[in-house]
């Protein structure tokens, strides 16, 4: 195990600034090696020794979690996706969490995280399950892990302003996929909306009730698995008829375009194949200026 870590990694893993860490390295508190060019390289063992001697705890153990990038920050998208899939398959909460947080901290947007990380992972899990390569429990556990990571990400997003437009949504009847609708909530929250996901497998009647009671500016429907296209189409028609015409409805999912085609009345029913499209639609709908990921001045 010859894992060499950069000062930045060690600093974040033990929760101090990079400046302090470099100073401690220079003072000899942490054993440090140097590259020929003069960059510091720190062994995992040296970090452990430091923590034991100083009686400090690891703030983010997952950063030192070994195998993934061999001590290097993952740059390539493919490698990150590969690592995430492995972690999900093995049920490694910490590892998956680390990948998520690292990607987000590294500057990846919520939309990118959803379209380029979560969605591919879900597809691969589904494929592997159908091919019999993984057990059902592994797929369930992976969804559980992803849920928790996304919830944690949700806590990092800024709270909505009191004047933020309201968005409500969920998945239609017969669709038990909770993660896509959660991703939609995250994207809208990141766009400054007051977004609430009602969960999965919702009868159209209760969605209409929610729309009438809360009067959202936007209602989304995340349709991943279509059990009965005819019933879905009929439900949507009645849903549109029983809700205020001022409320826009966005449906998401690959097949939703065909299923719901022709139901639109005057640009009320919109379609987004992925989260990037959803984001464009949502920012177009917002009356106030959309400010993404900006901390509100308090």
Residues that bind DNA (rule: CB under 7 A) add up to a total of 24
Least distance (Å) between residue 167 CB and a copy of itself: 13
Rule CB under 7 A: is residue 132 a binding residue for DNA? no
Stretch that binds DNA, among 67-75, 86-94, 129-137, 187-195 (CB under 7 A): 67-75
For residue 228, give the nearest of 174, 178, 271, 269 by alpha carbon.
Answer: 174
For residues 128 and 130, give the distance between their C-alpha atoms in angstroms, rounded to a whole number.
5
Rule CB under 8 A: is residue 207 a binding residue for a copy of itself? yes
**Helix, coil or strand: residue 129:** helix
- Indicate which of DNA, a copy of itself, none lies near residue 70 (CB less than 5 to 8 Å, by partner kind): none
For residue 212, give the nearest of 166, 252, 253 by alpha carbon.
Answer: 166
- Indicate which of a copy of itself, DNA, none lies near residue 274 (CB less than 5 to 8 Å, by partner kind): none
Rule CB under 8 A: is residue 244 a binding residue for a copy of itself? no
Give the one residue of 59, 106, 234, 291 binding DNA; rule: CB under 7 A. Answer: 106
Least distance (Å) between residue 153 CB and DNA: 19
Sign of CA dihedral 154, 156, 161, 165: negative
3-state helix, strand, coil in the chain (%, to 5): 50, 10, 40
For residues 152 and 154, give the distance between their C-alpha atoms in angstroms, rounded to a whole number.
5
Task: Return the number of the residue (202 or 250) whose C-beta is nearest a copy of itself.
Answer: 202
Rule CB under 8 A: is residue 177 a binding residue for a copy of itself? no
Which are the contacts of 80, defined by CB distance < 8 A and separation ≥ 6? Answer: 74, 99, 103, 117
Rule CB under 7 A: is residue 37 a binding residue for DNA? yes
Cβ atoms of 181 and 199 within 8 Å: the answer is yes
Rule CB under 7 A: is residue 105 a binding residue for DNA? no
- Indicate which of DNA, a copy of itself, none lies near residue 38 (CB less than 5 to 8 Å, by partner kind): DNA
Cβ atoms of 276 and 114 within 8 Å: the answer is no
Binding mask 74-103 for DNA (x = CB under 7 A): -xx---------------------------
Residues facing 42 on adjacent strands: 5
Vertex 160 angle, CA 157 and 162, to 5°:
165
For residue 189, give the nearest of 209, 218, 215, 214 by alpha carbon.
Answer: 218
Rule CB under 7 A: is residue 40 a binding residue for DNA? yes
- Interface with a copy of itself (CB under 8 A): 1, 3-4, 15-16, 20, 24, 27, 29, 33-37, 41, 43, 54-57, 59-61, 65, 91, 93-94, 135-138, 140-141, 143-144, 147-148, 151-152, 154-156, 159, 170, 196-200, 202-203, 205-207, 209-210, 213-214, 298
- Interface with DNA (CB under 7 A): 6-9, 16-20, 22-24, 26, 35-40, 72-73, 75-76, 106
């Amino acid at each position: 195990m010859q894992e060499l870590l950069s000062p930045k990694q060690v600093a974040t893993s033990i929760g101090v600034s990079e400046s302090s860490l470099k100073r401690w390295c220079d003072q000899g508190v942490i054993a440090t090696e140097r590259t020929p060019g003069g960059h510091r390289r720190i062994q995992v063992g040296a970090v452990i020794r430091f923590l034991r001697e100083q009686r400090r705890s690891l703030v983010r153990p997952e950063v030192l979690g070994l195998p993934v990038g061999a001590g290097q920050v993952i740059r390539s998208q493919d490698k990150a996706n590969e690592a995430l899939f492995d972690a999900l398959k093995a049920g490694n909460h910490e590892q998956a969490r680390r990948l998520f947080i690292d990607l987000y901290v590294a500057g990846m947007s919520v939309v990118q995280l959803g379209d380029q990380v979560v969605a591919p992972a879900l597809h691969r899990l589904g494929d592997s399950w159908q091919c019999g390569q993984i057990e059902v429990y592994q797929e369930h556990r992976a969804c559980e892990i992803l849920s928790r990571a996304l919830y944690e990400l949700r806590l990092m997003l800024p709270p909505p302003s009191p004047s933020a437009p309201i968005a409500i949504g969920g998945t239609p009847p017969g669709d038990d996929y909770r993660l896509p609708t959660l991703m939609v909530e995250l994207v809208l929250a990141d766009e400054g909306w007051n977004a609430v996901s009602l969960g999965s497998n919702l009868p159209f009647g209760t969605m209409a009730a929610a729309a009438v009671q809360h009067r959202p500016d936007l209602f989304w429907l995340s349709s991943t698995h279509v059990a009965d296209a005819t019933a879905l189409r009929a439900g949507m028609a009645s849903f549109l008829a029983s809700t205020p015409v001022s409320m826009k409805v966005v449906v998401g999912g690959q097949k939703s375009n065909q299923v719901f085609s022709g139901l639109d009345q005057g640009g009320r029913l919109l379609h987004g194949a992925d989260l990037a499209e959803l984001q464009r639609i949502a920012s177009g709908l917002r009356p106030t200026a959309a400010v993404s990921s900006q901390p509100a001045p308090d």
